[in-house]
Structures are given as C-alpha cells and as structure tokens.
Structure 1
C-alpha cells in the first residue's frame, strides 16, 4: 500500500502520471464498497487557511489528496454549498503522519459530495463533532473520535457525578456513506444516521460511551457488521434507556428497510446493562411504517438489559444465529450509585408480520422457531456454564473466553459462528478455564487444556506457566489455586510451543467474601457487621427483644431483590439461634420461588430450596423447637442439603444446582403474605459457602432440645343424646329424633347455644367447628351457626355455604363452589381457622372445598355464645344437626385452593359497599385506602382517589388460566391526562386510561396482545361503559365502548396461571386510579364477540 508520506514525496501539488485510490489509505479488502479514485494532486497543508483553500480548489476541480500536517492543527472541516450548485470531485483528507494523526476539532459538511476523511483525531468537549447533511458518496475511516465523557450520565454528586461528552456523529439525508474502522470513545451518543440510503458501518470500536452506540431512523440499504461495542460508561435508568443499536420511527419520512446487523460483538460484561438491539416505530399510527427486511444475524451479546434483541413494528424481519449470554449480576444504575439487579436475562422478542427467528441461543427467546434455550444455575447439560469456556472472566475476557466448549452440541448449528469452537485457529491462543470450589469460594481450578494453535490443542510438550498477582508461579496445564482473600485477583497464563511461538493472557477473578450477613447490636440498632456485607432494610425500625430480632411483629427485615449476592447460590450457610413463642408456627425466612424455612405446627423446622427444576427439602423431628432456643444451620455444599440443630446433624438430603436468580422479591425474615412465626432470632449469619460439620459443632451454644408433639385439644363435643350437656343452653324440647333415628336439634325455631362463658371461640387465632347436618328442605336458606360479631355460617338460596369470620384484622367471607347439602343427605361440615397459617376453610365430609386468607384474633368475650340458627333475626334453614364438636386448632390439611364454577364471578354495584352481588368465591375488599361513595338521581358510584384499591384474592382460580371472559366497567374521569390503572390481574392483564382513552394489555404465553380506544372517550366527563371480551375458540379479543366495538385483535390460548396477586381495581399499569366507577363485573364469557 502506498503510504501518505510516499504520496507527498511523489507529488506536492503538481499533477503527475499516477492516481490514488481509497485502498491506498484505508484497508477495505474486506469491505463491499467502491475503491474510490483520487487524482494525483496531493497537497500538504500546515494551517487552517491552507486547508480551506486546498479543499475548495480540489473539490471544484478534478479532486485529489490533502495531507494535514499535525503541527498545523487543530483543524476544522466546514463547507456548505448553500445553493448546492457544485458537484464535488473526490477528495481524500488524511494525516501527513498517520502514526501522529492531525487533530480535527469538528466536521460540518452540507450539500457536498465525495469527501473522504481518514487517519485523524476528531475531538471536542460538547455538541456534535461530525455533522454531515445532504452530502453523498462520502466516508470517515480509521479515525479516533472522542470527547470528555466521565462517569455514568445521571449520577448525583454524592455518587461521583458525571461529565457529559459530545455526540460523535450526526449523518442526515445522505446516500452512500461509509463509516469504517473508527474508534469512538468517551462520547455521549456514538453516531446517529437519519434518512440515509446506502450505509456501511463496519469494523468500528466503541467504548466509554454514556448513551447509545448507533442510532438509526429512516435508514435503508445498510450494513452494520464486525463492530465491537464494549465497556460503556452508561447512564442511570432514569436518565436514558441506553441502547447499543437503536432503531426508531419518530419523525422519519423514509422507512427503515433492508438493514443487516451482522457479526457484531456486544460486550456488556461490565457497567450498567444496556439494551442491545432495540427498535420500535413510535409514530406507526401516523406514518404506517413497518420496518421492512431487517436482518439480525450472527451477533454475540454478552450480557444485556431485558431487551437483548427486541424490535416491534416489523415486516419480514429475520433473526438468526445470534448468541445471548446471561450475566447474573447485570444491573440498572440508580442516581445515588446503587444498583438494581435485573431479574431476567436479555431476551429475543420480535413483534410484526412474518418474522423468522431461528438457530439463536439464549436463556429467554420469546418467539417461535428452532432455537436453543439454555438455563442458568442448574445441573442441566444445557446450563450456559456447561456450554462456554470461561464465563467467570468478566471484563478481562474476549471472544476466546466465551467460545463454546468443543463437545457442545451447539457448535456449527446454533448461535453465532464467532463462538463456534475452532480447534485449529490461525495463531496460537492461550485459553484458561476457571471453576470455583462450591465449598470454598477462594479456591479455583485453572485449566489451560483448551489452549490451541494451527496444529490443534496443546499437548504435553507445551510449556504452561501461571503467574498470580501476588507473585506466586506455577507450571502445568491444570492447577488448583487458593486466592485466599476476597476481592479482585488476576492471573497470567503463558503458553509456549516447542517451536518458540507463545501467547500470553491476563484474566481476573472476583473472590467473594462468603460472609454476607452478620447481625450484631451496635448502639442499640441491629447492624450488619460483615466486612463486605449486603444491605438489609428496616434494621433500625425492627422490633427487638434484648439483642434479638423479633419475627412476626413490627417492621419486616429484608434484603432487597436488587442485592445479587443472595441469588444463584451454589452453596450456602444460613445460621441463627431461634426461640419461638409457645405454640407459634409460620415462615421464618424466605426468598420467593427460591428457598424457605418454616416452623411447623408440631414444633419441627423445615427448609427447602429450588434449583429451578427441583425442590429439595429437609425437616427435623417433631418438637425440636418447643423447649427454648435452638442453634440452627441450613447448609448446602453443592451435593447435600443439611439441617443442623445445636451443632448436630438432624436431617439431610442429596441436592444439586444453585438457588434461583433474582425474582420480584428478595429475602425476608418472616412472610410478607402469609403467617410468620412469632419468635426471637439472634446470632444471625448468612454465608455464600457451606460451613463444615466441625465448624458448625464448634459454633453451637445450646444443647439439643426435644419435646412432645403439640396435640390439638377438643374443647366441646356432643351427640345431643340428652339435654344434660355441660357448657350448652338446651332443653329437652330442643332434642328431636331425625329420620335416620339419631337424636339432634333443628336449626330453625330452636334456642340452642354454646355458652359464652366457655370462651371457646373468643380471643383466639385458631379453632375448628365440626357438625353433622342434613338439609331437609333444600329450598330454605339462612343462618346455621352464629356468634355475634365473630362468625356465622349460612346456607344461601343457591345452596352454597357462606362462612363469615371477623377478627381484629377485618371480616372475610368464604363461599363453597358447589351446593354440598343439596342432595338432602347427612354430611359432616367443618369450618376451620388458623391465623398462623393465614387461612379459613370449609370442609365437607373431610375434603376441603373452600379456602380464603384471614389472620388476627377473634373478639374478646361478648354477651352471647355460639348459637345454632340466628338468635334474633334472619331466615333459618329447615335443617337438622346430630353432632357438634369444637377444638382449639384446625386439623384441616392445607389444601390446594379449590376451583369454582359460576356464570358470573363478580358484580359490584358500589351501592355503599364492595360486596359481591353474585354467589362465587370472589370476595372483593378494600385493600388500601378508604372508598367513598356518591350518588345522583340515576345511579350510585364509588370514588377512587388515587390511593384506594379493591382486591380479590389470587386463590380465586376463575381469575387465571382462562380461555373466555368478559369485564364490564362503567367509569368517569373528567381530568385524565396521565396513565391511571383501572384494574389488573397481576402478570396477566391490565386496563388503564391515559389521555382520556382506554388501553388494555393481556399476556398469552410469550405473547402480549393489546387494545385501545383512540377516541378521547372520557374527555366529556360523563360515565362510559367499557367491555372487554375474549374467546379463544373464536380467536377474538375485543374492546366495546358504549355499545360499539372500537378495537379487536386476534388472540388465542389461556391467560396467565395463578401468580402472587389476584385482581386489583385501582392499581396496575400506571398511577393509582382517580376516577368514579358505577359498576364493575367479570363474567364467564362475552356473547357479543365475533370470530376474529
């Protein structure tokens, strides 16, 4: 290649007999671009004036080459052909000495053609460094483009602050532009291309950017290939949702078409997580563009935010052979410098017509096709740790470290070919695999056996040397190393072949301090004194008993889900001293869908954890916790899950894999939804590695305790064989002989009462009432059992049983799904309550048929006892009872919640109440705030004030896994401008309002479908009725407003299965609801739907 220096020597401003080509200045051997010819008029410039004159003359003439003398800079390249009257000749602008490039402070080219800029430094503090507009057949090559960006954009001063850099380039309304081989760093955004036809963006390196890498809007016929995106500074999530590559549709007048994104390496292994390839047409409703023929092929994505490859509003998009590797500690950055760990790996999600998504590899691929979905933190062969060479290297690695292992079935088939194992590379590659010991997190095995060169894998004749950062040195292909102390450590591997060729790499490992939590009382406040311990919330407000933490009362101590250290544990040790209150049971601590320790009603302790595929559990003998404090350790070493009490092993089981990745919740001491054990907890520690049996025994401070099993006591029982029943008011006249020949009492017309002074059912958190009953006239309805201001059991006109229970936590209703007494035969009925378990239940003939959540204590003794029938008012059924038993604790087993079958599930008319007007399992209640009511001559309505919500329990199974439904809401909002939530079934569907319109979204498997009204429905301030109907068999989901279908879409499949919340009115997608509702209903189906 002719160098620029040689060109200057050959011609210094006079025409000769030779000419120059782009390939003389830029390596374009692998590029599919034109090798532009330049005239041999070569001019060396040493000042800005000479530069301006040279460009003007050459562009207006036959063209040529400008060599910038570094000493004469910095230069600016700024030319604007206002009238666009001149067709410019090709001009190459480059440095006289590329090894010491000239500095160009800015580029502004408008209405020009055929300019080419290479081997310069383009640098500035602010603004946009390169602006090219209406300038065709041009390019920028092998130049360094940089600014002064420091810190992640959006960090506050306390977190170190930030300095915003300039934006690299803005290329607007051009044809045939090349951006090749450049180095972009310490910028805000990298390069933006708007209304560009014919773009080649290849072989660029981008790093230390705060915003987006490449931005595309209105781009056609583009190739974005072989670029390296790495080590971005990023921004806080509130400041900018940063993307490596972004496609947008706002304000474009050319569609995004025929764009290929290929063979790029997106290295997101350090810093805040980036969205990688993200696009949508924000103006689809206005411009109607579907991004056409977008191809995303053969890229490597090493870590990302949720949107790995996520593009919507597309047509004929192709996504093939891409690899997405999950980084478990990927995070969003907050303004105060804290990190929010992402709970989900980056996904592939293409929304549009005729997409092709094939041969990709990742942990979450939301589109159909022949793809390979891997797991993480499991024993599966398809766990990503079992597929790639060395995922521990983080930012110190390169492609060799994430290459597939030689025995991976993905080689040559799935994912990017950049990661397919090549046993004979062109040059020698030193390769290290590092694996940590599950029992000692500072011990690593280092293996160089995958090092290879043109002749294949290294053998015994290869010299392998390892050097640690503390000076220790080892030889051998595989070694075991104890790095000893927590923190970042490095090791250097040198591989030398017999022919003298060698390769050296340096890699890092992060040695975790296994001690995550060590709680001690410091100045009266529980404090985590672990050197590098995690943050716990509510420590300062927690309830203490001396130096012990109280569980089951006061603020709940938590470790947030954003703390990644408590997830994906391949070994652990949770240790503490537990002293439970007498008879108490419930959750001790838990991580949702990952692990849980529970104190059982028999005084035993159980512990379980999940590796994603299997739950492993251990449980102690009964009574272990009943005689005072016990030192407990829950230990997992990668092979065995063990439970220790007072230093002794009391239960163990084989186990495997790691605990789960971050979900929606972190670790809580107690249970945020159900009953927590009432107990005192001290000596609390959590380690991310297993302690040995010897260590646990040495740390134990108490003797092993045993106690008898708690026995539930029968407080009262009778078969009504006589009127002489202790604790009951009853007369001989009340006792009758039933058709079966048994003696008993009639519910209607009698005066039978279990006396209040027995106190059986007052001021208690658990009981069970069991009786045998026969409903003679099944058309009669009314109260069966009644305890004033405490409980009632009745049979409704539809034959369902209704159990009402009032505690100091409120009133809860429970209905049976069927009509258990409708056959007129005798049945055993039980109603049970256990505050610790957080449930009330109805059982028929020993089978639990209904269950609801309830906690708290019943009222203290009132003036009345438990009556059979109602003592003062109301209907009573024609029913006989032949036995009655009361015990102090429920013996009903914990059931799977029973499903219900009702045509109408919910109807609320908000007539001064939220009572469900239909007989179903759904029992709506005001869950937050206070609901107020108002009315006029025509109707009544509930006034939601933005903080009030009405909820239905997640246990109502009709809310979930549905293939038909109809929701009806009559609503008024006279000042709607922002998003407000009307209702939501968590992770399933949601109705919101925004800018006076309705918006509905629903999840069907991996697909999200949506509807909207788009007609300013609520702007008139009147009530409007919106109906949402779905029928999978018709393939139809539709929205009707005031009797007119305003939107419909094709949809099929079941809605989401039960999650951890049910239906909530007034909360969901958007802010709280500030509006009025006259009625709300959920029905089995919508008869107005048509086939989609």
Structure 2
C-alpha cells in the first residue's frame, strides 16, 4: 500500500486528534447533511489492488481518507460483506486532484456502512453504474456520472436510431443516504431509490438522459431539492413514459411517505415532452398504501407532457407555490422520428384524501384552491403567460432570469415559485433581454435590455449595452429592432457594462418561426404541401381534385389538424387562395370553429371574420364579386386592420385587434363539416402567419395575370412507332408475309380476324406509361361483325360492338375506365383513322375518328409494368374479332387532346329502351345497355291499361335475364335529380322481384303486386311504395320515380297519379363497383314483361310545393 509524503507521521498517535470532516470535501452550507468525521489516515492510491486493500483496512479499522490518483485508473469500487457482520468505520473516497477526477467504471457496495464518495467520475457504456444495497450513513457528492447515450430511445434505425446509455444509480434498502452536487448525463435512467429511509438528494444537475430522471419507490423522509433537470434526450412515448421524478407503488413493502420535492428547476423547454412529477400506486388494490405527506413546493416547471404535477393515491399531500410554464410546441416522439404535438398544457392534478393545492401558477390546474390560471390565447390578455414572464422565447438557451416574472406582475410574492419572483437588486450585475416579435413580420424582433439590473437596481443611461448578432452585425442601446430575415435559429450576445467596469454577458437564441404554414401545390399528380414545416393535413390523399384544383363542397374535406399550433393564436395572417365557385353556390369556404371563418353569400359576396375572444371582426365585400370567373382572394390581418383583397385590390376592410383563438377541439376545415359548404374549386392555396403588404399582394396578382395571358407552350409529340405494313421486316413487330394483304383501296395491311401480328413487349412504349396515342387506319367490311381490334393484356383494348359503337378500355394503377362512342362511326364501311389517346396529367382518355374526338372519360395513373405479352392486333387467345383491315399503325408518346365533337341528342334523356326487338339505347349517350346474363325474348299484342288499343312489343324477362349499364357511366351516380320510367306487367307476382337497381344508391322492386322503391342519400334511406295491388290485374302499368334534391322531394307516380312521396335531400351515392342492373339485384330475379325503360335527367311533373 502506498502512502503520501508524511503519511507515516499523519498516522501516529500524536496526530490522531487532527480530525477530517465531510465538510472538508463537500459544501454543506445549504444541505441537511450531518458533518461526518473521518480519521486523518490519508492513503494515496495508484492501482486497483491498492484501492481494494486500502478500503478493506480502513473500513475494518478506524476509517480514513482514500485519494485516487487519476493516472492509476480506471478503478472499480466493489465490496460485499456477505454475512453483514462488520460495522464499517467512516471512509471518504475522493480524487487526489479533484480538478482532474479519477475514473471509476462502477460502484457496487452491499452490506457496507459509512462510505462516502466525492469528486470522481463514474462512467461506463452499459449496465448500471452505481449499485448500493443495505447501507447506512453513506453518500455520493460532487461527482460526474456519465455514459454514452445518444439520440432518443425507441427511434427506429431507419429514422436514425439511438445509442442507449447505461443507467446511473440503483440505491435500495438504505438508511440516511446523501446524493449531493452530482452531474448525471448521457444515461438512460438517472437515479433510482427503493426502500430508502432518510434521503438527501440536492443540488444535482441532470441532463441528456433518455429515460427517467429520479425514481422513488418505497422512500421515506426524503428531501429532493435545488436540483436542475434540463435538456433530456427522451424516448418515444411507446418506448418509455418518461418522467423527471417518478413515484411508484408497485412491488414496494415500504410506503412512500414524508417526501419533500422543493425548489427544483425542471426545464423541459426543448426535446420530447416529459411527465415532470408523476406518481400513483399501481398496486393499491393489493397493498392498500396511500402515499403520505408528499410535499411539492416552490418548483419551476418549464414545459411538460400532460402530467406536470400529477400524483394519485395520496394522503395529506401538499402542492404549493409551484410554477408551470406552458410550452406550445411540446411533443411526443414517434418511432419514425416524427412528432405528435400535445394538445393540452401540463396540469396539476392531485387525487387522494386531505390534499392541499394552493398558490400555484399554470395554464391548467384541475384541483380546487387559491391558484392562478394563466392563458395562452389572445396576446392582448394580461393573463397571457407571455405578458407575465420576462422572455419565454429563449428556449434551451436561457436560464431562470429569462423566465422571471415581470416587475409589474401581480404574481410576485404571492403565487408560484419564489425562484421566479422579481428581484430588482440581485447580488451581482445581471444582463437580461426581453424579446417581442412584430405582429406584421415574424422575422422582426425588438430586443430590450431595460430589465438588466444589479445591486443598485435597474441599469440607467450611463450603462453601456452592446448587442452582437451571430451574423456579424452589432448594435448599441438598451432597445433595438432587428430583422433576422429568415426562419430558423438566430443567436445574439448581450453585454451590459456599468460605469464602474463591472459587466455581465449572456448568449441567447431566437427561433424565428416560418411564416409560411401551408402552400398547396400539385407535385407528380398529387396535392402536396410544399411549405417548410410539414404540418398534419387530414384527407389530403382522398380529397376530390379537378385538374390541379381542390374541389370543395363534395367528398372528404381537407383539414389542418388541431395539433398544428401555427393556425391558432394568430396576431397577423394572410389566407390566400384562388376560388372558382359553381354557378349560384354559396356557403362556408373555410373555418376554425368559434375562431374564424370565410363565407360566400348568395349574392356572390365574400366575408371573412375572426374573434379575439371578446369581439367578432368581419369584413364583407359587395355582392357580385364571385361569379363565372375565378378570383384570387387574400384575407389579411396586420394587428390593426382586417382586409379582403380580390385579384390584388382591397374589396372590404374593418378595424380589428387582438389575436385569433387558442386551439380547441377542431382544426381548420376547407368547407363546413356541419352546414352548407360552398361548391367550387380552390387553387393557389397558402396560409402565412404574418400579413402580406398591399404591394406584395398587388405584385403577386400582376404575376398571375401575366402567367394567365402567356401563350400555352406548344405540345411536342414524339412518334415512337409507325408502320404501313408494306413489308414484314418491321423492327419491334412480330409479323409474317402471310399476315400482309392488299386492301380494296390497294394499300397493304393486315386483317384483324385471324392475324398474328403483335408489337413486341421489348419496345416498352405502353408500359408504366402516363400518356400515349395509338392510331390505326381501318376499314370495317362486314359492319355487323364485332370484336377486339387492339389488345394489350391487363392494360387496354379497342373493340367494336355489335351495335357499331367503338369501346376503349384502359387499366392503370388507379383502376379501370371504359369509354364508348355514342354513334357508329364505321357504319359506312369506308376506311377511317381511329385514335385512342391517354394523358394522365390532363386526367383524360379519348376516342377520336378521323381527327374528331367522339368520346372521353376521366382516367389517371400509370399503366401496368411490362408483362409477357405485347400489343396484339385482334385478340390473341379468345373472343370475337371483326371483319376489318388495318393499313397503318402509329404510336406516339402523347395525344393531342381536343374537346369532344358535340352530339345532337336530347340531353334530358340519358337512357331509353323500347325493347323493339333489341336492347339498344335509342338516344346517343355513353350509356350502352348490354344483356349480361341470360337472353331477352320479345313478343307483341294489343295491350290493356294506359296503352289500350295499341300493339306493343315487349321484352320478356324470365327470371334469368339481366340487362346492365356500366358503372363507368358517370350520369348514373351522385344524382341531385332524376326520373325513371318503367312500363311493365306481372300477372303472377309472388314474393319480391327486382325491377332495377343501382347498387348502394337505389332499387325498384315489386312485392305482392305493388311497387317498392328505396334510395340512399348521405347515409339515410328513403322508401316509397304503392299500396293497391297495382299489378294484380295482369295489365301493363307505368311507374315513374322522380327526385329533386333542391326541393327536398322524392315521389312515385303510377299510371299518372302520385301514389307516395317523401322528403329527401343530398346527392345519391358515388360510383360503386356495379352500375345499373335491370332484371336482377338484391331482391330476387324478375319474371315480368317490359315495354320500355328510360332514365331522364329530371322529372318535369315533380313540382315544388
């Protein structure tokens, strides 16, 4: 064993009275710690072996002091008195050079008394650094306890992951233990105390922890005071419900009792949100223990999760003079590193018997008592917390001086923690910066050093004040105004110098908020928020789009979630958007419930209003502003005036003051979730949390006008493939000489029927494609022949039907769409150019013949990836093929889109079937009925009833027949008006038979010789029926069904007489998987005769009133 110089003399009998005390190593002036005496037997240690021997000898003897030489480490302190037979003498273990502390890898002390450890560094990568069990009268002081924690626990590797640190201390079954003046950092958990009686836990600093700070279970007679918890790394909420101080009752045999938590600073102003002081007895049903005499007094809590001070299962608990400061951007962390913003400030909530909650300050105090509740609503409210404290903008760069109460606050000396009460004459000069942001420009700040003060009070004009910004600029003066220019963090240094030369310097930061909250644009075909902060938007992927515009008034409503703090408490703003309303529409444009809203009037006016909590301020334009043309609107508030701009010009204004409301249950909705929304299109949507200037708004309007007047760029079409079939040597085409024929016009070509011509898949033209154009020159010889003209497996087909109409089917990753020509463009038997084109950007697919677009449908998305097959002429495996020749095939990368050629037909009639020997729509629309099951037979005779004396032809539905209209006929769906007319007879009706149905929207059936009709709108079902056994006579009867949503009326007419009606509003269902079925449905097959069936746009006989 090594000794220091003179150690032998120090160990002589003559010097044994020269005592050494704990106070020689630790400042005990503010601690409740007994001053322990050690023998003046000092050992200087340079190796692990010497360390073990020295402790064993001193503990078994009279005690003494061990000084660890840093160069000899790292050391391990590990002693276990297995039989607990020895009573140890007091031993102090410290560093020979406290300024360069010795390193210990771990501390494990079990069944040992009277050991004390100070001024060392305890560090290791994993495990628990300090384990102490069954000990009395011991302590750890002024030491650094650290590990390697990095990142937040529970974050996935894909999102950056985390390195989990060791836990600091596990101290259990101990009496009279001191944990004083230590620094704990980069750990998982901090210190855990279990079954401890007599604990002094004071003046410690804890930071960079991933888990809990201090954990108590079965602790009595404890003082937790004057500690500083700050800058914790935290964990995801799923990984660990993190607490600064946790009190638990699970698996304890000693009750938590007589614990004082006092004058601590819990700084959660940055990082994931923590529960601060949280406790409950998880095993109350088993052990029946109520935590007794818990005192929480004079603490400062800056930011927290919901549980600020939240303790249940208590008896005689006191929560007094604590201050909870709300952090509006508090959040829980998710495994993918995204953040879930908390919707409520941390609260005080005590449950138990005999508790006292008084003189506390916070935004939410759930217990009765004399407390002060502040707000975070209107900035003009004197009780807004920003108007009570010095500088809440500093976040992690500040200290207690920044959150001290303002001198004129009524809280001083009465409510909250005395740590924050204003003191005009501190012991030394203290530089203080108060910061405020401009209401109209979020990057402009006023910096004020007027609250800087010292022993003589506030600074005066003779004091030098220098502001130095991180960007190199500097300013002099007690108050300055600075434009930081850009969003993000900006630092500054404040130097305050008195005439006597004394000075104080502080460095602080300002987080300039990004004023652009929302900027919606189309990116790769999707509506996307390109603003820097990725706020939470609901229904962004499912809202209805029309080109590059958002459709409001139908479909899912776009919402900004209430968790987005940037849309609340606005002292200035600019809501900007282009609105194109549907003709005659009115209603809500956007709203935050009980906070703000924009509405369109029936006269074409626009109004915008907001409330500051006391008064609604509304600006209202004149009528006629909104009509047939789009109008760009700006709703602008600068803190003094609320203005509405239309295309850059002011159209309404009013004086206003204050801020919009704090977050409640709802966020911002485009439209109205409960009442009428305006119908129309929105584009160029943005929201800023500052007011735009009139000049900026006018310049933006001029730019939009210039862009609108600019000529459209020429569409450049690239030909990908072309052939006239003049030779079988065609690159990319599988064709033989036998496939080539000479057409009646003398041109070379191929026959569709029986050919084996295929454009090879290796060309890649039509795969993963968002646009294409395919054109063939074709001649239909036998115009009665039908079948497939072009076919690409699972992608597209072009066919001609038996009725002479062309049909184009296209499948993309957004689904399958079919478009059919209304007429018979090839019926003359001559040669024609047929084109099928698709453009995902325009959202259209079209059929054109000889350059005229005859039909189109909506379609988006990409075609499937390359498969085994290429584009075939005809059908390669099965199905009919028409008697048709193709003399050329051209493929381009995109179509030249055009408006469809107008068709001359009665637009009021969508479907008319007279069953005169065929199933064919007598009007030229996209609705082309087909017999999809069974067969239709026809008969005729003189009939009774309304058609008495005439000879009618009818279709005989025999219970196996279905006539269908494709679900892709848009006119079938989302109807505000309609009329269906059916003339039929059924002389032997028993049970229920389906006449027609549109799945999920409506159905007509017959039951017991009466008509029964049901319709669904907005989740409600409305039903009608006749009640006189109408069909029992076996004659033909005509039933008409009419609907008018605007008039709120649905009615059934039989043989010219209205027999039933009901109230109904709203459109019928959107497109489902099925279209219109005649003769089948959910209520059984139809065995009846029909002379005609029609669907009309509206029922003229359905009058209102």
Q: Displacement, 1:427?
A: 0.6
Matches within 5 A, 1:821-860: none
CA contact (8 A) 2:4 2:44 kept: no
**Partner in structure 2 of residue 113 of structure 1:** 113
Counterparts of 2:180 and 2:366, CA distance in 1:
34
Residues 43/539 of structure 1: CA separation in 2 closer, same or farther (3 Å cut): same
Counterparts of 2:1051 and 2:181, CA distance in 1:
81
Q: Displacement, 1:274?
A: 0.7
**Partner in structure 2 of residue 588 of structure 1:** 589
Q: Displacement, 1:238?
A: 1.1
Residues 316/209 of structure 1: CA separation in 2 closer, same or farther (3 Å cut): same
Q: Deviations over 1:17-40 (max 9, x none)?
A: 311000000111111110000011
Q: Deviations over 1:1048-1078 (max 9, x none)?
A: xxxxxxxxxxxxxxxxxxxxxxxxxxxxxxx
Q: Displacement, 1:633?
A: 1.1
Q: Displacement, 1:45?
A: 1.1
**Partner in structure 1 of residue 617 of structure 2:** 616
Greater C-alpha radius of gyration = 2
Residues 524/38 of structure 1: CA separation in 2 closer, same or farther (3 Å cut): same
Q: Displacement, 1:578?
A: 0.5
Residues 888/204 of structure 1: CA separation in 2 closer, same or farther (3 Å cut): closer
Counterparts of 1:247 and 1:483, CA distance in 2:
45
Counterparts of 2:9 and 2:461, CA distance in 1:
55
Counterparts of 1:137 and 1:614, CA distance in 2:
64
Matched, 1:308 2:323: no
Q: CA RMSD in A?
A: 3.1
Counterparts of 1:834 and 1:112, CA distance in 2:
90
**Partner in structure 1 of residue 147 of structure 2:** 147
Q: Displacement, 1:684?
A: 1.1
CA contact (8 A) 1:807 1:858 kept: no
SS in 2 for 1:340: strand
Q: Deviations over 1:172-200 (max 9, x none)?
A: 11111000000000001100111111100
Q: Deviations over 1:508-549 (max 9, x none)?
A: 111223222222333322333335564645445443222211
Q: Deviations over 1:566-612 (max 9, x none)?
A: 33322110011101112323332233443332334443333333444
Matches within 5 A, 1:123-134: 123-134=123-134
Residues 119/598 of structure 1: CA separation in 2 closer, same or farther (3 Å cut): same
Matched, 1:809 2:1018: yes
Counterparts of 1:100 and 1:672, CA distance in 2:
66
Tell me, which stretches of 5 or more residues in structure 2 are unaligned? 706-973, 979-1000, 1003-1012, 1024-1042, 1067-1105
**Partner in structure 2 of residue 463 of structure 1:** 464
Residues 547/343 of structure 1: CA separation in 2 closer, same or farther (3 Å cut): same
SS in 2 for 1:100: coil
**Partner in structure 2 of residue 57 of structure 1:** 57
**Partner in structure 2 of residue 846 of structure 1:** none
**Partner in structure 2 of residue 551 of structure 1:** 552
Q: Deviations over 1:705-744 (max 9, x none)?
A: xxxxxxxxxxxxxxxxxxxxxxxxxxxxxxxxxxxxxxxx
**Partner in structure 2 of residue 910 of structure 1:** none
CA contact (8 A) 1:467 1:473 kept: yes
CA contact (8 A) 2:4 2:42 kept: no
Counterparts of 1:7 and 1:450, CA distance in 2:
56
**Partner in structure 1 of residue 336 of structure 2:** 336
SS in 2 for 1:33: coil
Q: Displacement, 1:16?
A: 3.8
Residues 219/805 of structure 1: CA separation in 2 closer, same or farther (3 Å cut): farther
Counterparts of 2:178 and 2:556, CA distance in 1:
61
**Partner in structure 2 of residue 951 of structure 1:** none
CA contact (8 A) 1:341 1:662 kept: no
Q: Deviations over 1:912-939 (max 9, x none)?
A: xxxxxxxxxxxxxxxxxxxxxxxxxxxx
Q: Deviations over 1:245-300 (max 9, x none)?
A: 01111111111111100000011111011111111111111111111111110000
Matched, 1:628 2:629: yes
CA contact (8 A) 1:377 1:657 kept: no
Q: Deviations over 1:315-348 (max 9, x none)?
A: 1111111111111111111111111111111111
Tell me, which stretches of 5 or more residues in structure 1 are unaligned? 704-761, 767-788, 791-803, 815-832, 841-856, 873-885, 890-1092
CA contact (8 A) 2:1017 2:1065 kept: no
SS in 1 for 2:40: coil
Residues 200/765 of structure 1: CA separation in 2 closer, same or farther (3 Å cut): farther
**Partner in structure 2 of residue 607 of structure 1:** 608
TM-score, with length taken from structure 2: 0.64
Matches within 5 A, 1:149-164: 149-164=149-164
Matched, 1:436 2:424: no
Residues 6/36 of structure 1: CA separation in 2 closer, same or farther (3 Å cut): farther
Counterparts of 2:1056 and 2:96, CA distance in 1:
103
Residues 603/455 of structure 1: CA separation in 2 closer, same or farther (3 Å cut): same
Counterparts of 1:25 and 1:641, CA distance in 2:
66
Matches within 5 A, 1:389-468: 389-468=390-469
**Partner in structure 1 of residue 171 of structure 2:** 171
CA contact (8 A) 1:13 1:43 kept: no
Counterparts of 2:60 and 2:356, CA distance in 1:
49
Q: Displacement, 1:807?
A: 4.7
SS in 1 for 2:135: coil
Residues 866/375 of structure 1: CA separation in 2 closer, same or farther (3 Å cut): farther
CA contact (8 A) 1:550 1:681 kept: yes
Q: Deviations over 1:864-907 (max 9, x none)?
A: 99979x799xxxxxxxxxxxxx9999xxxxxxxxxxxxxxxxxx
Residues 858/134 of structure 1: CA separation in 2 closer, same or farther (3 Å cut): farther
**Partner in structure 2 of residue 295 of structure 1:** 295
Counterparts of 1:82 and 1:866, CA distance in 2:
103
Moved more, 400-409 or 588-597: 588-597
Q: Displacement, 1:620?
A: 2.9
**Partner in structure 2 of residue 644 of structure 1:** 645
SS in 2 for 1:198: strand
Counterparts of 1:603 and 1:118, CA distance in 2:
79
Give aligned pairs, total. 743
Matches within 5 A, 1:171-320: 171-320=171-320
Counterparts of 2:518 and 2:238, CA distance in 1:
30
CA contact (8 A) 1:5 1:97 kept: no
**Partner in structure 1 of residue 101 of structure 2:** 101
CA contact (8 A) 1:181 1:205 kept: yes
Counterparts of 2:347 and 2:616, CA distance in 1:
26
SS in 1 for 2:54: helix
Q: Displacement, 1:624?
A: 3.0
Q: Deviations over 1:800-833 (max 9, x none)?
A: xxxx99652233799xxxxxxxxxxxxxxxxxx9
**Partner in structure 2 of residue 1036 of structure 1:** none
**Partner in structure 1 of residue 47 of structure 2:** 47
Residues 531/347 of structure 1: CA separation in 2 closer, same or farther (3 Å cut): closer
Q: Deviations over 1:391-418 (max 9, x none)?
A: 1111111000000000111100111000
SS in 2 for 1:23: helix
Counterparts of 1:638 and 1:871, CA distance in 2:
55
Q: Deviations over 1:124-170 (max 9, x none)?
A: 11111111111111100000001110001011122211011111001
**Partner in structure 1 of residue 522 of structure 2:** 521
CA contact (8 A) 2:1016 2:1022 kept: no
Counterparts of 1:131 and 1:13, CA distance in 2:
35
Counterparts of 2:75 and 2:438, CA distance in 1:
57
TM-score, with length taken from structure 1: 0.65
SS in 1 for 2:273: coil
CA contact (8 A) 1:59 1:90 kept: yes
Counterparts of 1:307 and 1:299, CA distance in 2:
15
CA contact (8 A) 1:585 1:601 kept: yes
Q: Deviations over 1:641-698 (max 9, x none)?
A: 2222233333333333333344444333233444432210111111110012232233
Counterparts of 1:286 and 1:488, CA distance in 2:
52
Counterparts of 1:479 and 1:6, CA distance in 2:
61
**Partner in structure 2 of residue 364 of structure 1:** 364
Counterparts of 2:5 and 2:373, CA distance in 1:
55
SS in 2 for 1:364: coil
Q: Displacement, 1:60?
A: 0.8
CA contact (8 A) 1:342 1:662 kept: no
